[in-house]
Amino acid sequence: MPVTPAPTAGPAPDAQWHLENLRGHEVLADPTPWIEAYETVYADSLDLPDHRNPTFGERLAFSAARPGFRLTACRVDGEPAGFAYGYTLPTTTGWWDGFEPQPGVDAEETVRERPGRTLALCEVLVHHRFRGFGVARRTLTLLLGGRREERAAAMVAETNTRALDVFLDNGWRHVGDAAPHPGWRRHRGLVRPLRP
């Protein structure tokens, strides 16, 4: 008879939560904690092209060198619980390559970038042990707060229904689909205004 492992306990009721924003040079000085967190969370699927071509470390380094980069980290009692990061899309970008709009979505308007229009949300990650405790909400609130861009855009794998539900329940709109890199699974393109 198979044994189901006991669930990992979450944070203690009196745990100390710490959120901070990091700039690109701070992340590039030591990207190890973020790479290790990513590889821990996705340990069972690191063989997928989505996780290895390009690698997370390569994607993080690319993003951290871009204008407008910010990584918001959440630690609980000093332990990394999760993070989210993004950067400002330039006017010429591959972000929208292969974009297929949802019915009723103006594709040309959606993919048109102008200076400072879009914050590209590249990653939202929560360690298994801290899921269900508001880590994603906390990090995204701080990451998106005070941004000057008009909107945020994200790409979420179409099979990641849990993340999609969270985004859609929090004001994001599914505008179309694309594969962010060759060989990757299709992703849902999501957009959310950052200003009224």
The CA-to-CA distance between both ends of the chain, in Å, stands at 56
What is the DSSP annotation of 14-50? T--EEEEEE-HHHHHH--HHHHHHHHHHTGGGTTSHH
- Contact criterion met (CB below 8 Å) for 113 and 90: yes
What phi and psi values does residue 142 have, to the nearest 5 degrees? Answer: -75, -40
pLDDT tens profile 172-188? 999 999 988 888 889 99
Q: Categorize the per-residue pLDDT at 53 as very low, low, confident or very high, splitting at 50, 70 and 90.
A: confident
The helix/strand/coil state of 182 is: coil
Look at residue 1 and tell me whether its pLDDT is greater than 90: no
Average pLDDT over residues 51-68: 95
Look at residue 191 and tell me whether its pLDDT is greater than 60: yes
C-alpha span between 138 and 76 (Å, rounded): 12
The helix/strand/coil state of 74 is: strand
pLDDT tens profile 117-173? 999 999 999 999 999 999 999 999 999 999 999 999 999 999 999 889 989 998 999
Q: What's the pLDDT score for residue 8?
A: 54
pTM: 0.90
Of 119, 123, 121, 154, the C-alpha closest to 39 is 123
Comparing 178 with 14, the larger pLDDT belongs to: 178
